[in-house]
Amino acid sequence: MHTASRPPQTTATFVAPWSLQAWRPLLWQAGPPVCLTLRHLGTHVMFDKPRAHPLSGQTLWGGRAGDGDAGLAWDWVQLSQGVLALADPLCIVTNLRLLDDGGEPLAPMPAARWLNQIVHTLPWQDAVVQAIRRPP
């Protein structure tokens, strides 16, 4: 059973990105991004838009991090067939509370830069392409 502080164990049901706000906040030293291992938890595709608009949606990634669960989610947009981008690189939702080397909270811009580095290590475009190919 899914609780607010644990990511779901299956990708069959999409968990809304804003639900990360209910996960227990996790203090995390913003060191090398490769130290965080996340897996795909779900992707939502908004198929109900008019054809004139590009496909878009949200994707959610999570995993164990230290003594808690970490999650990241963001909106994406399909720019052309097979070409995907973050809809807004400054708007990655997470329950991580990033700390600098001195243990102080990271300012918003360095935090956004660090989160984007994490996102770019993930195979999220492949997960989104698979979700697009599944029938609605």
Q: What is the pLDDT of residues 40-91, one digit of tens each?
A: 999 999 877 666 578 999 999 999 988 899 999 999 999 998 899 999 999 9
Domain count, the chain: 1
Tokens 């878009």, residue located: 56
Please give the Cα distance from 81 to 7 (Å, whole number): 31
Domain region containing 82: 17-133
43 close to 58: Cβ distance less than 8 angstroms: yes
**Phi-psi domain of 73 (left: phi exceeds 0; alpha: psi -120 through 50; beta: other):** beta
Q: Is 9 left (phi over 0), alpha (psi -120 to 50) or beta?
A: alpha
Task: Say if residues 55 and 48 touch (Cβ distance below 8 Å).
Answer: no
Q: Considering the domain boundaries, does residue 11 fall inside one?
A: no
Distance of alpha carbon 36 from the chain centroid? 13
Percentage of the chain beyond pLDDT 70 is 83
Average pLDDT over residues 6-29: 70
* Residue 6 falls inside a structural domain: no
Kindly report the CATH number assigned to the domain that includes residue 124. Answer: 3.10.450.610
Q: Is residue 12 part of a domain?
A: no
Q: Look up residue 115 and give its DSSP letter.
A: H
d(CA 126, CA 136): 17
In a domain, 10, yes or no: no
In a domain, 8, yes or no: no
What stretches of the chain show up as alpha helix (H) in DSSP? Answer: 108-119, 124-133
Distance CA 106, CA 64 (A): 21
